[in-house]
A and B are shown apart, each in its own frame.
Chain A
Amino acid sequence: MSDDVKNGAPHVDAIGEATAPPKANEFKRIVRVFFGRKLYVIGFVIVVILILTAIFAPLIATHDPYSCDLAHKLEQPNKAHWLGTDSTGRDTYSRIIYGSQISLLIGFSAVFGSAVVGMLMGLAAAYFGGWVFALIMRFTDALMALPGIILVLLIAGLAGGGITVVIFALGFGGIAGQCRMMCGLALSVKQNDYVLAGRAMGMSSWRMMLTQIFPNAFPPIMVGITMGIGAVVLGEAGLSFLGIGVMPPVPSWGGMVNSGQRYLLKNPLLSLAPGVAIMLLVFGFNMVGDGIRDAVDPKLRGVI
């Protein structure tokens, strides 16, 4: 053996360690598991359709979502207006199409913002421990002590609606959850030998956090993020429904449900259609989240 090593030649063990295991592509496996269940595929398709709808809204919509046409107000579905019109004669179908832009914009930015801030805080708390941990965790405790909706109402109410305010309010409310989750995961990942090994290799704290701890704690966070999008969209709809979210005339699904409720008996589609859109989006993102969890969770490997 020593001779082989000295020559630097590939060395083959007598006991068969030389036979490499078959190459398994992890990404392919995840994709296979994910698309192996119909429900997840449906969720995925919904999400993809929604994203495409948001991107190509001007092409898909039949009318301008802002143009009022009082001559054709509160129409039942017909050839010109597939889902009817609202009390100012705006086309419901087109407003739902454009509403997807608002919902996804708010969903993605609020969750992304809260995830970045929350994860950094959680990582720092878990990695440094001591007073950093105490400070960050007490802050999240305080944040969690306030009921989510009250906190969001407070921020949105004080700052007075608008897309940016909604994103900030919903994102701020999500920080505590992301931070706690990351902190818990990072604390357990930190115990692993490879983290100590990384330190023994002379890595700096930041490098350790970003290359050793973060990637290992990320999969569950990923699931949280995907499901968070559904929750945030629901939150936005709630705020808009209450009238302190996205301000009219911007088409927001929650706002549309609200303005349609006065005509619920005569013209139920006005509220129902955006309601179904919200439901589909939340369902889609939850399914994708579930699918990702099943695909990446090693404990479920082989079970599904």
Chain B
Amino acid sequence: MSVVLDVENLKTHFHTEYGLVKAVDGISFNIDQGEIIGLVGESGCGKSVSILSVMQLIQTPGEIVDGKVMFEGNDLLQHEANGPEMRAIRGRKMTMIFQEPMTSLNPVLTICRQMTEILELHLDMDRHSARERAIELLRMVGVPDAASRVDDYPHQFSGGMRQRVMIAMAISCNPMIIFADEPTTAVDVTTQAQLLELMKDLVTRLNTSLVIVTHNLGVVARYAQRIYVMYAGRIVESGLAEDIFDNPQHPYTVGLLNSVPRLGEKRGGRKLVPIYGLPPNLIDMPPTCAFLPRCTYKTEKCGKEPWPALRQVGDNHYISCYVDIRGKQ
């Protein structure tokens, strides 16, 4: 499989009144064609900022200060954020599905208008064929009675249906990559499962890459092939989904997995262990590992050395930790 997106050392900082917030501080990741990637981490660890940075949708006071986003042989960060090159990529080759289906659609335009707008903009379709295509897309994402519902306004749709519309809009131009920013957080569990199945099905058919940003480990466990775990603006562990779930190597990942129940667990009746403490304040971060204060595996060395770089611990499996926790769990 070929790499469609290669992000290197991406840094996005926010200049706030209280100081410099390094929301994303040097992350690197790549996405293969047709691959489903999970980007996992707790709130405020920089997941959303990372993908917004890739699409250059960061607004002041945020600023992309360093890094490379290689896409189709070009570094996207060399393009002007709102210039014609980026606009031609956004919506056409990279699309995004947002967390809140309730607010992500423009309330004053019909679904039809919102969907045809993208088609007219990127594919130069005329109004009539764009409308036909919009209806076809709505059918693909399972909106019943699509031909008549296409003329409805967003408030006439339920949350799950709106998210389906968002998915339809995201796939409308056959993009290379779809970024889904917590796509199922705002809908109930049943709808969540349906939407994820739908997305998986669509990206498989269209051979599109999908990046699922979530704090829900269950979501990525089932659908993602590869997982990146983020903490305080950096990637702390990455690897194939099986590696991350069956053989986690970073103390943070271990902590995350210990804090959620799993179906069919061998050790029934296991007590859930929380990760004690709070995520660090992103202003004035210590030079050492950011997870250090909460880490249960820390050694003396951890307090003296800077944040560890990623090191390989297996095929495609990387962690950012000095400690070898194998056998200590």
Give A residues with C-beta under 8 Å from B: 1-2, 4-6, 8-13, 15, 17-18, 20-21, 23-24, 26, 129-130, 192-194, 196-205, 207, 211-212, 215-216
Q: Are A1 and B144 also in contact (CB < 8 A) when A200-B57, A211-B117 are?
A: no
Q: Roughly how many angstroms separate A149 CA and B90 CA in the complex, as a whole number?
A: 49
Q: Are the C-beta atoms of A205 and B82 separated by less than 8 Å?
A: yes
**Chain B 130-185 interface residues, beta-carbon cutoff 8 Å to A:** 136, 139-142, 144-146, 148-149, 152-153, 156, 158, 160-161, 166, 169
Shortest beta-carbon distance from B183 to chain A in Å = 13
Q: Are the C-beta atoms of B139 and A194 separated by less than 8 Å?
A: no
Q: Are the C-beta atoms of A15 and B190 separated by less than 8 Å?
A: yes
Q: Are the C-beta atoms of A6 and B60 separated by less than 8 Å?
A: no
In the complex, 11 of the A-B residue pairs with CB atoms within 8 angstroms, ordered by the A residue number, are A1-B197, A8-B139, A10-B146, A15-B191, A26-B153, A197-B96, A197-B104, A202-B86, A202-B88, A203-B87, A203-B117
Q: Which of B87, B90, B194 contacts A13 (CB 8 A)?
A: B194
Give B residues with C-beta under 8 Å from A: 55, 57, 60, 82, 86-92, 95-96, 98-100, 103-109, 117-118, 121-122, 136, 139-142, 144-146, 148-149, 152-153, 156, 158, 160-161, 166, 169, 190-191, 194, 197-198, 201-202, 205
Q: Note all chain A residues with C-beta closer than 8 A to B160.
A: 17
Q: Are the C-beta atoms of A2 and B197 separated by less than 8 Å?
A: yes
Q: Roughly how many angstroms separate A23 CA and B157 CA in the complex, as a whole number?
A: 11
Q: Are the C-beta atoms of B90 and A11 separated by less than 8 Å?
A: no
Q: Are A196 and B91 also in contact (CB < 8 A) when A9-B139, A205-B82 are?
A: no
Q: Note all chain B residues with C-beta closer than 8 A to A9.
A: 139
Q: Which of B57, B89, B92 contacts A196 (CB 8 A)?
A: B57
Q: Note all chain B residues with C-beta closer than 8 A to A197.
A: 96, 98, 104-105, 166
> Which partner residue on chain A sits nearest B117 by CB separation?
A211
Shortest beta-carbon distance from B276 to chain A in Å = 34
Shortest beta-carbon distance from A127 to chain B in Å = 11
Q: Are the C-beta atoms of B144 and A12 separated by less than 8 Å?
A: yes
Give me the 7 closest cross-chain CB pairs, A-B, nearest first: A202-B91, A201-B91, A11-B142, A202-B90, A200-B96, A193-B103, A18-B144
Q: Are the C-beta atoms of B106 and A216 separated by less than 8 Å?
A: yes
> Which partner residue on chain B sits nearest A18 by CB separation?
B144
Q: Which of A10, A13, A202 contacts B145 (CB 8 A)?
A: A10
Shortest beta-carbon distance from A7 to chain B in Å = 9
Q: Note all chain B residues with C-beta closer than 8 A to A193.
A: 98-100, 103-104
Q: Which of B118, B142, B145, B153 contacts A201 (CB 8 A)?
A: B118
Q: Are the C-beta atoms of B91 and A194 separated by less than 8 Å?
A: no
